Each structure stands twice: as C-alpha cells, then as structure tokens.
C-alpha cells in the first residue's frame, strides 16, 4: 500500500508536539521558579553583598600591595578590560578608578568571572544592565587573574 | 510502507478525508523507493532542538573547492570550510593572512576542485586530529585542523596532472598519498608534441610525509611510473598497512578520445606499492633529485600570515633504474575506478567501472604470488602478477558500472554502482550480492560511518549522487547535488533521508562526534595571539604611515571599534586594516566592511586578528561598520575614514570617543 507521506509526517509531528509540550511545560516551570528564587530574595546575604559566582567566601587582602600581582593585573586589564572601561568617567561600562571603594573584592571578582549570571541574577547587576544597556562579556579570565585585576584596581584607587 | 503501523495510521485519517487531497497533491509520487515507514525513518534522523548529532560528516565540495561539515543523522549543515576556493563571506583568499594559502607555482589561483577528504588515522582508525583533502585541477593537498576547523596548510604537488588519487592517509598518518590522473612530461614545462605521449609522458605517485606533532606535510618522494591514468588510491590496513594501492586506466596510453581509446584493454592494473620499502630505498640513496618548483603554504604560528615556502626539487624513485621490487601491478578488469581495502586489510576490491563483475584480490595471495614469482611480464621494471594468482573472488551481477566500496566490519561490502544507480551489498565470504537499493540518481562515492577504518561503525551509509532531477523543489536547469542517508544497522539497507548538499559532494567521511567535540576551540586566546600586527592592549590602537602604506591597528568589542574616526588617508595609499577582536567569548564575532572597498568584509573570531587591504581611489568620507550582528548596539558599531587628495596635507589622526 502506497501511503501519502505528508499524513504520516503530520501524525508524527502532532505526536511530537504533544510530547514536546509536556516536556517544555516542565522546563518553563523550572525556569520561572528559578527566577523567583534568585530575584533578590533568593540570594544569600553573602551573595547580595559580594555577588553571585565562583567566589563564595571572603578572600584575604593585605594592606600592602603585591607588586607582582599588580603588574599581572595591569596586563590583563589592558588586554581584556580597558576596551570598555575608563578609570575616570563612564565609557561603555562604569569608571573603575574608584570601584574598590564602591564594591568588595569578591563582588568585582564574581562580576568578572560570572558576568552573565550577575546581570541575570543579582539586583546590582540587573541595575547596571538597565543603566548601561550592554552586558559585560566574559573575557576568559581565570580566578587567579581576576584576583590580580582586583589588586591592580586596589592600588590604583590608593594612588589616585 | 505496507506494515501494520501505516495501516493503523490510514484508519486514523480516512474519516478526515485528507487522503484524497494529499494523494492528489502527491500525484505521480507513488514512491518505489524502499524505506522505513516514514514515521520510523523520521524518528531515526530526528535530532531534537539543542541536541547534537552523533556523527560529524565531512563532505567534499567537489567543484566548489570547499569542505562542508554536516551533522549525521540529521543532515544539518554545520559549516562550510573554505579550502581551495576564495570565500567572500569569511574573506578566505581575500584577507592578507589567507591569500598566501592559494599561491602556487602558477601564481594565485582562486578555485579548485576538491574530491577526497580523509581524516588522519591512528592504528587504522580516524583520530580527528586533521582532515586532508586534495585539489584535483592544480594538484595540491590541504590540511584542515579539527580544533579550529580552519585550513592551515596547502602543499602543491609537482609533476602531476590532476591529483585525483588523493588524499588518502596510511594507518598512522605516516603518509598522505597523491597520484597523477593525467600523465605528463616529468620535466616541468617540457614543450613536446602531444603524440610523443608514450616516450615523453610519465606518471607520478606522490608520498607526502606528515609530522605527527604539527601535522606539517612534506613531499618525501615520488615514484615515476608508466604513462597511464592513476585514478584512485587507498592505504592498506592491519597486515597490509605498509602498502598503498592505486587504480590505473588507460594502459592503452591514449592521449585523445579516451572514452573509446582507453577502454580497449580487457584489463588495466591496480598498482600495489610497498611504501615502507620505497621509503627505505629513498633513505638508502636510491632516489635522485629532479628539479621542479612547487609551493608549500602554511601558518608558521598560531595566527598571522600564511607563508609561502617555495621548493625546488623532489626526490624520485624510477622503477627503470632500481633493481629491487617495491611496486607490483595486479591486472584488474576493466578501467577500474575505486580501489578499497576491507577492515581486515586482506581484500583489495576494484571498482571495475566497465566490468561485469567486482574483482576482489587477496592481499595474502598477492604476497604468495610475489614469493612464488608468479610474474607474467615486467613493464618498466614493474612486475605484473598473474591475475589468477591474486584474485580471490568476482562478485557477479553487481549492476552496471561499479565504482566504490565501503565496508561495515560485519563481513559485508557495499559498492556504489553508477550506471544502474544503486548500492549493492555483498558478502566478503561468498562474494554474492545479498541486497540492493536504489540511489537518486547516478551515485559516485558512498560512505559508511567510520568507513575506511579498521573498526567501521555499521550505523549509517550516505550515497553521494550526481543529479537531483525531480527529488526536491526545482530550482532551475542546474540543481544542487543530492545525498541519501541509509540505515545499515539492520539486515537490509533502508533509505532514511534525502538532502541537497554544497557543490559536488564527491567523497565524504563520517567520524563519531565524541572523537572531536572536546578538542574544538571556542576562542583564540588573546595571550597566545602571535600575529605580528595584532594589538594585545587596546591602548595600542593606532595608525602608522610608512610612505604610501598605512596600517590601521584596530580593536573591536561589543560594540565599538578603536579607533573609529581616522583622517589623513590619501588617494594612492595602500591601507591595511588589522582588526583584532578583543572578545574572549565563544562565537562573538565582529566584522568590518568599508564602503567602496574593492574587497570583501572581514569576519574576525574572538581573539583573532585579520587584515584587509584597501586602496581608496576617490576622496571623501568612507563609512565602515560591523557586519556581524554582535549586540543590541550592533547598529551603533560604526566609524568614518576621511580620504583626502594625494597631495593633501591633512595630518594623520585617529581617535575614539571624543566628539
């Protein structure tokens, strides 16, 4: 028996739609609840103050700046950050000359290491996105490199 | 399509009255093709959104000169990798980095005909490091890196006319082979009458060594052989790993109207070459160096400009001068096209294009014949073995025009048959045909997943066919070539899908995706950018003038260029725009296009530096913009270049961000 292909496809497709809708429904539900949970109320106190990302506890900062770390941070900053940030005055993103006065080291590191998570989940990140209209990209910066950038920014803040 | 399931489905729809309408729409298509129930077939090729295919398929572009990458079984096109032809979309062959790749001893060539992709191997199985592909017309071999899916190297092959028997690799990628389809005079540019063919023309078989770390190719040696047409090649496997095999036709030595004149002999030859022994002969000083210019083009570093390394000579082994035997002719009926080696390395299958049978030689019998001296004559010193001493089977009734064979590792071979347009499955034990299925239309090569490996995976087969005719919605007198996907996991071949492809998908290979996926690069790391004109700190963006040459060192990120206002360019300048993409996020690409530039756009991947040459011919203000939709502010990603008269004294200035 020769069978019109379109009909069989139609049956298959409708079958699939039913199946997919069921699965899709679950998925949507998950995402909604996830959003509710992380919208401010869902964040821990640490996360509210220090950001969402791989840095989950306070890091040690000494009063002395480590010159090697500062230099490493400067190199990475010039390669991967300076395209969009000035030290003084807003550019694509906010000025960073005094960022270490405004934010904790952990917050800055989490923003560098998890920028999409920060603008999606953190109230300050959401606010910054509304203000600057450009989400900060992930620049393939590792945790030790983010720490070095913090050291560089701390020293800059101190000296300027 | 007559199983119980479809009857049930029919019941579902009869009442709705759809059948009549649909049957009317599909009038003329009561398909005779053998395939699974459409729903079952759809399920087998369905890959859900966001899910990945199980196999990468690498399809040659044939006369497009490129290599296309497909997901199988869904037959989704993933990417087209430019190899031998310029590609304005990616600026391949237009950017300063890639132009040297297309240089040859004949100058810059914007096109070629790419036929046989072959994935590098370890112990006889594809390993996913690199894929090689041949240029047929101006003989070359390219190497594509399978971390970046980028053409990294192209090597020209001298003394060759039509590098068709290429680019097949040996079991551990020791060599990539090439062979001349046209015999030509060996001395380059030799000006002789065409009818001096038998005296002055010679064939060349090429052995290109591969550096196992870098993949870098080197033309190690060539073998000078009688002036036949060397058609296809394959490397041995397992016990035959030290050998490669080439088919020949035109043993008649015709140089005109080959259609008739090269089809007279009852048998032509498969040339069996012991490459390990040939390489030893070369090491022991049996070769001689013949002059011959050829280009070797490659990237010396991770990024930067491809370089042209011009060579001036090749080591050749001439069978007329060497007493030791390292190449043998196996008589094979009748203008054989393909030569394919089964996974055990024992069976050497000829595609007897004009023959009524598929001839199968035995490798172990061949060794015995050599041992026993079953030599019927010598041609230019090459022993011709007795047909009966090497042949082990002839597959009867294979259809008309058998071409190429792949194997499933379960004791069966699958041969494409051109004239009767079908694939025949036959047993390597009984040499009898056990199944056959139509191809749409006029099949050339075919692939089996992990085919031409020691361990093929009998899941899918793809037939690569030459004409589409009525298979798809018509698109004019010339249509894209089709490919058909078959399920070979059961006893019988079943058609699953039929899809149009890019160019002419001449040959293709499929490799399990998990052999490649984890090595694929997502960015070019900025720290490793060794391009001589990259900027690694945005503070280094600048414009430099040296006489009439102006270099713009520009950076891009979402969503601006630096610099984006440039003045002081003059008519008559040659301007190079070196654009470094400062993004370090996967798949965030920026482009640049300049009004009136007699060139292409650039597309620059994250962390990459690329260069476009621009020679403005008129004064004025030239807008430029990002061609890759990169962010919500993509439309703001633009700039201006002011071009002044040749004698203007406008100072060279550049800036960003200060109105």
CATH number where B308 lies: 2.130.10.10
Predicted complex ipTM: 0.78
What is the pLDDT at residue B632? 85
Same domain, A31 and A59: no
Say if the Cβ atoms of A139 and B585 lie within 8 Å.
Answer: yes
User: HSE-up of B358 (CA within 13 Å, CB side)?
Assistant: 33
What is the pLDDT at residue B216? 98
A-chain CB neighbours of B538 within 8 Å are 78-79, 82-83
Same domain, A55 and A106: yes
Same domain, A28 and A65: no
CA nearest B40 in A: which residue? A12
Same domain, A82 and A130: yes
Distance from C-alpha of B291 to C-alpha of B204, rounded to nearest angstrom: 14
pLDDT, average across residues B350-378: 95
What percent of chain B stands above pLDDT 70? 95
State which residues form the domain around B596: 526-655
Q: Could you tell me the sign of the dihedral formed by the alpha carbons of B28, B34, B36, B42, in that order?
A: negative
Name the pTM for this structure: 0.89
Distance from C-alpha of B229 to C-alpha of B231, rounded to nearest angstrom: 6
Same domain, A75 and A154: yes
Distance from C-alpha of B401 to C-alpha of B336, rounded to nearest angstrom: 10
Strand partners, B211: none
Question: A8 to chain B nearest CA, in Å?
Answer: 6
Number of residues that this document lists for chain A: 160
Same domain, A90 and A129: yes
Same domain, A29 and A67: no
Instruction: Identify which of B22, B31, B557 has the shortest CB distance to residue A83.
Output: B557
Interface test with B, best of A19, A22, A117, A137 (most B CBs within 10 A): A137
Q: Three-class SS string for chain A?
A: CCCCHHHHHHHHHHHHHHHHHHHHHHHHHHHHHHHHHHCCCCCCHHHHHHCCCCCCCCCCCCCCCCHHHHHHHHHHHHHHCCCCCCCCCCCCCCCCCCHHHHCCHHHHHHHHHCHHHHHHHCHHHHHHHHHHCCCCCCCCCCHHHHHHHHHHHHHHHHHC
What's the mean per-residue pLDDT of chain B? 93
pLDDT digit string, tens, across residues B454-499? 999 999 999 999 999 999 999 999 999 999 999 999 989 999 999 9
End-to-end CA distance of chain B: 71
What is the pLDDT at residue B148? 98
In a domain, residue B267? The reply is no
In a domain, residue B94? The reply is yes
pLDDT digit string, tens, across residues B10-44? 444 443 344 333 333 333 333 457 777 888 999 99
Judged by DSSP in three states, B512 sits in strand
> Checking phi first, is residue B454 left (phi over 0); if not, alpha (psi -120 to 50) or beta?
alpha
Strands B638-644 and B508-512: unpaired
Sheet strands side by side (includes B482-487): B443-448, B460-465, B482-487, B494-500
In a domain, residue B121? The reply is yes
Residue of B501, B500, B494 whose CA lies nearest to B38: B494
> Which residue's structure tokens are 């300076």?
A82
Say if the Cβ atoms of B536 and A79 lie within 8 Å.
Answer: yes
Neighbours of A36 (CB within 10 A): 10
State which residues form the domain around A71: 45-159
End-to-end CA distance of chain A: 85
The pLDDT-based confidence of B607 (bands split at 50, 70, 90) is: very high
Residue A23 CB contacts under 8 Å (≥ 6 apart), including other chains: none
pLDDT digit string, tens, across residues B181-240? 999 998 878 899 999 999 999 999 999 999 999 999 999 999 999 999 999 999 999 999
pLDDT digit string, tens, across residues B157-188? 999 999 999 999 999 999 999 999 999 998 87
In a domain, residue B317? The reply is yes
CATH number where A127 lies: 1.10.760.10
In a domain, residue B114? The reply is yes
How many distinct helices (H) and strands (E) make up chain B? 8, 46
Same domain, A116 and A52: yes
Whether pLDDT at B92 is above 70? yes
What is the pLDDT at residue B28? 32
How many structural domains comprise chain A? 2
Q: Is B559 on the interface with A (CB under 8 A)?
A: yes
Enter the DSSP assignment of B627: -
Residue where a domain stops, chosen among B270, B296, B321 = B321
B-chain CB neighbours of A11 within 8 Å are 9, 12-13, 39
pLDDT in tens, chain A (160 residues): 444 444 444 444 443 333 333 333 333 333 333 343 444 558 999 999 999 999 999 999 999 999 999 999 999 999 999 999 999 999 999 999 999 999 999 999 999 999 999 999 999 999 999 999 888 999 999 999 999 999 999 999 999 9
B-chain CB neighbours of A84 within 8 Å are 557
pLDDT, average across residues B367-388: 98
Interface test with B, best of A6, A7, A16, A71 (most B CBs within 10 A): A7
Distance from C-alpha of B430 to C-alpha of B187, rounded to nearest angstrom: 48
Same domain, A52 and A77: yes
Same domain, A75 and A144: yes
The pLDDT-based confidence of B140 (bands split at 50, 70, 90) is: very high
Residue where a domain stops, chosen among B306, B321, B336 = B321
Say if the Cβ atoms of B632 and A139 lie within 8 Å.
Answer: no
What is the pLDDT at residue A97? 96
> Checking phi first, is residue B636 left (phi over 0); if not, alpha (psi -120 to 50) or beta?
alpha
How many structural domains comprise chain B? 2
Number of residues that this document lists for chain B: 659
What is the pLDDT at residue A41? 55
Residue of B576, B573, B565 whose CA lies nearest to B617: B573
Pull the structure tokens for residue B343.
């996974």
CATH number where B597 lies: 2.60.40.420
In a domain, residue B276? The reply is no
């Amino acid at each position: 028996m020769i069978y019109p292909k379109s009909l069989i496809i139609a049956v298959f497709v409708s079958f699939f739609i039913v199946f997919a809708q069921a699965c899709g429904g679950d998925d949507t539900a998950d995402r909604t609840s996830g959003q509710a949970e992380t919208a401010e109320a869902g964040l821990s106190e640490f996360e509210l103050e220090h950001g969402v990302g791989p840095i989950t506890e306070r890091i040690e900062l000494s009063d002395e700046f480590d010159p090697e770390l500062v230099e490493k941070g400067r190199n990475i900053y010039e390669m991967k950050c300076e395209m969009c940030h000035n030290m003084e005055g807003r550019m694509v993103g906010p000025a960073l000359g005094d960022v270490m006065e405004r934010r904790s080291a952990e917050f800055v590191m989490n923003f560098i290491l998890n920028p999409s998570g920060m603008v999606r989940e953190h109230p300050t990140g959401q606010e910054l996105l509304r203000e600057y209209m450009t989400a900060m990209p992930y620049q393939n910066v590792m945790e030790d490199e983010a720490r070095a950038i913090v050291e560089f920014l701390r020293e800059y803040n101190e000296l300027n | 399509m007559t199983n119980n399931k479809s009857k049930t489905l029919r019941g579902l729809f009869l009442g709705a009255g759809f059948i009549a309408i649909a049957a009317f729409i599909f009038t003329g298509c009561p398909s005779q093709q053998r395939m699974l129930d459409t729903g079952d077939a759809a399920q087998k090729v369905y890959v859900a959104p966001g899910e990945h295919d199980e196999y990468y398929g690498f399809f040659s572009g044939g006369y497009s000169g490129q290599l296309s990458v497909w997901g199988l079984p869904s037959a989704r096109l993933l990417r087209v990798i430019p190899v031998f032809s310029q590609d304005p979309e990616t600026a391949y062959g237009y950017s300063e980095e890639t132009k040297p790749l297309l240089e040859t001893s004949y100058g810059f060539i914007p096109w070629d005909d790419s036929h046989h992709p072959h994935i590098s191997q370890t112990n006889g199985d594809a390993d996913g490091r690199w894929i090689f592909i041949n240029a047929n017309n101006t003989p070359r071999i390219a190497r594509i890196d399978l971390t970046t899916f980028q053409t990294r190297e192209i090597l020209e092959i001298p003394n060759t006319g039509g590098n068709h028997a290429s680019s097949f690799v040996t079991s551990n990628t020791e060599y990539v082979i090439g062979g001349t389809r046209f015999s030509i005079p060996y001395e380059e540019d030799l000006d002789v009458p065409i009818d001096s063919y038998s005296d002055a023309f010679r064939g060349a078989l090429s052995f290109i060594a591969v550096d196992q770390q870098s993949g870098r190719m080197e033309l190690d040696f060539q073998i000078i052989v009688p002036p036949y047409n060397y058609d296809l090649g394959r490397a041995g496997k397992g016990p035959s790993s030290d050998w490669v095999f080439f088919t020949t036709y035109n043993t008649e030595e015709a140089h005109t109207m080959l259609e008739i004149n090269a089809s007279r002999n009852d048998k032509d030859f498969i040339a069996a070459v012991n490459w390990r022994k040939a390489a030893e002969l070369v090491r022991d000083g049996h070769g001689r160096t013949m002059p011959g210019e050829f280009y070797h083009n490659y990237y010396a570093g991770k990024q930067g400009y491809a370089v042209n390394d011009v060579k001036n000579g090749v080591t050749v082994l001439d069978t007329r001068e060497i007493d030791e035997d390292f190449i043998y002719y196996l008589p094979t009926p009748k203008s054989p096209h393909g030569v394919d080696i089964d996974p055990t390395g024992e069976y050497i299958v000829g595609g007897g294009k004009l023959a009524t049978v598929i001839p199968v030689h035995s490798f172990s019998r061949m060794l015995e014949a050599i041992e026993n001296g079953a030599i019927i004559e010598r041609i230019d010193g090459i022993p011709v073995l007795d047909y009966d001493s090497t042949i082990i089977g002839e597959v009867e009734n294979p259809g008309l025009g058998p071409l190429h064979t792949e194997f499933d590792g379960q004791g069966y071979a699958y041969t494409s048959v051109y004239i009767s347009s079908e694939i025949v499955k036959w047993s390597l034990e009984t040499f009898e045909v056990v199944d056959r299925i139509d191809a749409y239309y006029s099949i050339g090569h075919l692939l089996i997943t992990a085919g031409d490996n020691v361990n093929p995976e009998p899941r899918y087969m793809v037939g690569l066919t030459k004409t589409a005719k009525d298979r798809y919605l018509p698109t004019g007198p010339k249509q894209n070539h089709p490919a058909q996907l078959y399920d070979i996991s059961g006893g019988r071949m079943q058609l699953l899908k039929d899809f149009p492809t890019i160019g002419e998908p001449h040959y293709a290979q499929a490799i399990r995706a998990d052999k490649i996926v984890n090595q694929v690069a997502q960015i070019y790391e900025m720290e490793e950018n060794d391009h001589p004109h990259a900027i690694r700190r945005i503070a280094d963006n600048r414009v430099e003038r040296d006489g009439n040459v102006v270099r713009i060192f520009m950076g891009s990120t979402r969503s601006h260029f630096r610099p984006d206002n440039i003045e002081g360019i003059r008519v008559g300048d040659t301007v190079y725009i070196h654009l470094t993409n400062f993004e370090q996020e996967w798949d965030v690409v920026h482009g640049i296009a300049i009004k009136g530039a007699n060139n292409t756009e650039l597309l620059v991947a994250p962390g990459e530096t690329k260069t476009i040459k621009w020679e403005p011919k008129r004064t004025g203000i030239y807008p430029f913009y990002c061609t890759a939709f990169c962010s919500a502010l993509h439309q703001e990603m633009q700039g201006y270049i002011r071009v002044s008269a040749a004698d203007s004294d406008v100072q060279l200035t550049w800036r960003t961000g200060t109105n």
